[in-house]
Amino acid sequence: MKDREYERELDFLERPSTIRWLWILLYIVCGLTLVPELFLDRHAYFGFDGFFGFYALMGFIACAVLILIAKFGGKFLKRTEQYYDR
């Protein structure tokens, strides 16, 4: 018999059904960011910034790079567990 003392109900953001709906919402929002591209006339300054979805792709890449920098910075700046116990 399981120890019911250690069982707990999952929080809202931990439930698999909630996570699935959040992924679906993310895909919908990402798709909706491309809709205005169909109706806007872009004036490309550098040539490569005129293709379809450039700004959505640039935002995604910038976000991914910031996450990687934060992960690297976290490993670089990490303290040992006994840092404050000295």
**Other Cβ atoms within 10 Å of 34 Cβ, number:** 13
pLDDT at residue number 2 = 55
Q: Tokens for 29?
A: 């929002």
Higher pLDDT, 79 or 68: 68
- For residue 20, report the phi and psi dihedrals to the nearest 5 degrees: -60, -45
* 67 Cβ neighbours under 8 A, 6+ residues apart: none
3-state secondary structure of 35: helix
CA separation, residue 7 to residues 3, 14, 86 (Å):
7, 14, 37
**pTM of the shown model:** 0.63
- Please tell me the predicted confidence (pLDDT) of residue 5: 61
